[in-house]
């Protein structure tokens, strides 16, 4: 589980930095126009995209982990061994 967490953390960091760089450039370009609503909306949407992407990645990893455990413990009565 440590390795899975490390890989997921690296993927999240890479994805986060890519989105942050692109959204900061877009926000800077929007901030050069008069008014602040365009740059605020651009930054807010970029943050929302990043949040949804990280939550989706976490749920994907949880689903894949459960599939691996299901392949290793096919009988539901053996699932109790996961907690011991």
DSSP per-residue codes, 6-22: HHHHHHHHHHHHHHHHH
- Residue 1 has a pLDDT of 73
Arithmetic mean of pLDDT over the chain: 86
The residue-averaged pLDDT of 42-66 equals 89
Contacts of 56 (CB under 8 A, 6+ apart): none
Task: Give the side-chain half-sphere CA count within 13 A for 78.
Answer: 7
Q: Is the pLDDT confidence value at 6 over 80?
A: yes
In the predicted structure, residue 24 carries a pLDDT above the cut 80 = yes
Q: How far apart are the first and last CA of the chain?
A: 16
Output 23 or 69, whichever has higher pLDDT.
23
């Amino acid at each position: 589980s440590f390795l899975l967490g490390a890989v997921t953390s690296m993927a999240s960091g890479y994805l986060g930095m890519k989105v942050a760089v692109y959204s900061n450039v877009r926000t800077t370009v929007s901030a050069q126009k008069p008014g602040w609503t365009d740059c605020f909306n651009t930054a807010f949407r970029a943050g929302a995209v990043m949040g949804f992407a990280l939550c989706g990645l976490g749920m994907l990893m949880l689903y894949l982990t459960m599939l691996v455990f299901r392949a290793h413990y096919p009988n539901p009565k053996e699932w109790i061994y996961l907690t011991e």
